[in-house]
Chain A
Amino acid sequence: MKNKKAGNQSVFFQNPPVVISGYSVVGPKEGQGPLRDSFDVILKDTYDGEKSWEKTEAKMLERSMRGAIDKAQVPLESVDYILAGDLLNQIISSNFAARQLGLPFIGLYGACSTMALSLALGGMLIDGGYASKVLCSASSHHDTAERQYRLPTEQGNQRPMYAQWTVTGAGSILLADAGNGPKLTSATIGRVIDYGETDTNNMGAAMAPAVADTILNHFQDLNRPPDYYDLVLTGDLGVLGLQLVTELLKRSNLNIRNTFTDCGVMIFDTEQDTHAGGSGCGCSAVVLTGNILSRMQSGEIKKVLLIGSGSLHSPASALQGESMPAIGHAISLEMQ
């Protein structure tokens, strides 16, 4: 058997899996943002007719999963696995969405890095010959995240300027062993990095070192020049995190001169008062399935590196004074 591993942390795909479809569902606030035209569905309110936000999130995720399958015009039964994750305890949104689809399901937890993680694993399943179609999904909901990680939603408080706003959104990508669309060419699995940040409002600062570490290893493992990609896109570092990762890479002698941006920065306007930008599993999921895929299909950009970024703390660990470990997973998409 041929070894498909490259360097320490990366894999390259011999028969690159193809992104045959992507589908995004977002909340009203995201639907007012600068990327509004790229989403498939924009909900009118944060409940969408459900009794609780948790139910809404599961429904959103299910809708994005079915949407991706329908868009690719393949039968539901042809999908071999669902790989999905979210932010809620016991990843209930993914469990409940997968219950409705009735397909073999692998639940993932990578915090906000889940979309990149699911694509990396989906690619391995397909290129390894264990599947021909894998559905990769992730979701988050602003209000479910707030009530789990922070305060009741109607509780008055003042968020610091470096805090981010959890995106309400679900995105799904259908990966297949053949078809038309951008190809998943490589993946770099991150390691857990902790630079000692303890402020749970400052997730950008907690995640930036992990993302920088993964980027550094990705370029070294695959021996690619820093200007290989048309777009290097981090998951949800926000304004501050993006500045920090740029600084970290500069000091580590990796100068990415090409477009370098962040999904959390792209998804909201500064006038939307989200402070440092978007966050959450849904953030990179909807920006990738919406904006990025359509720009790749139109030929505007050909090579994209997405580094999903996740902060791996819990409310309990933060209260116990632990710092916030973080992880970054990278995947590269290329249009041939």
Chain B
Amino acid sequence: MPNSDLRPPTLKVTPEEYKEITKKLTPKPKVVKNTILAFLVGGLICSIGQIIINSYMLYLGLTKLSAQIAGTATLIFLGALLTGLGVYDEIVRVGGAGGIIPVTGFANSMVSPALEYKKEGYVFGVGGKLFTIAGPILVYGIASSIIVGIIYLLLR
């Protein structure tokens, strides 16, 4: 907590007033521009996914379900590849949540720590830090799916 008992001279601005000044001067995020970019980037990634799925059904003769699984795997591969090439963080820098939410973003959150912590070894580096970003998503994703499953079971 701020120290209110300092020896003078002290600033003639209280922490409360400072909070107001900071709020006034801090640049606001460009909501409209960011939303449009996120829509375009996220939409583009999803469209690419749809094209891949349709191509698998059309050219490889996969069933819809198999094509969707194979298409998701392909997108994960592409996300991982682009992370390795150092491109994916640039995509997110422009597209924001449009790049984080799709499955490619999940691939990015797994591959980037794997790349990053290789220098600390395969056990405590890669092994220990692989889930630093994805861990919370998995913990709460799985936990909430269990809760939803129980509710579904009770309502059935």
Which residues of A pack against B, CB within 8 Å? 8, 51-52, 147, 151-162, 191, 193-197, 202, 205, 209, 212-213, 216-217, 220, 240, 243-244, 247-248, 251-253, 323
Residues of chain B touching chain A, judged by Cβ–Cβ distance below 8 Å, are 1-3, 6-7, 9-13, 15, 18-19, 21-22, 25-27, 29, 34, 83-84, 86, 88-93, 96, 99-100, 105, 108-109, 111-113, 115-117, 119, 132-133
- In the complex the two chains form, is A154's CB within 8 Å of B115's CB? yes
A-B contact count (CB 8 A): 116
Chain A interface, >50% SS class: loop
Q: Roughly how many angstroms separate A216 CA and B6 CA in the complex, as a whole number?
A: 13
The answer to whether B25 touches A243, judged by C-beta atoms less than 8 angstroms apart, is: yes
Whether B27 lies near A162 (C-beta < 8 A) is: yes
Measured between alpha carbons, how far is A191 from B86 in the docked complex, in Å? 42
Most chain A beta carbons < 10 A, residue from B1, B9, B119, B132: B9
Knowing A157-B92, A194-B1, A205-B26, say if A212 contacts B119 (CB, 8 Å): no
Neighbouring B residues of A158 by C-beta, 8 Å: 34, 92-93, 96
User: Can you report 11 A-B residue pairs in the complex whose CB atoms are below 8 A from each other?
Assistant: A51-B119, A147-B116, A156-B90, A158-B34, A158-B96, A194-B2, A213-B6, A216-B9, A252-B12, A253-B12, A323-B2
On whether the beta carbons of B27 and A196 are closer than 8 Å, the reply is: no
Given contacts A213-B10, A213-B11, A240-B26, A156 and B2 within 8 Å (CB-CB)? no
Which of B13, B21, B116 is the one whose CB lies under 8 Å from A152? B116
The DSSP consensus for interface residues of chain B is helix
- By the criterion CB–CB under 8 Å, are A155 and B89 in contact? yes
Report if A156-B22 is in contact (Cβ < 8 Å); known contacts: A162-B27, A248-B11, A251-B13. no
Residue of A nearest to B104 (CB): A156
B10 touches A323 (CB 8 A): no
Q: Is there contact, CB below 8 Å, between A161 and B116?
A: no
Q: Would B22 and A155 count as touching, CB distance under 8 A?
A: no
Once the chains are docked, how many angstroms separate the CA of A213 from the CA of B18?
13
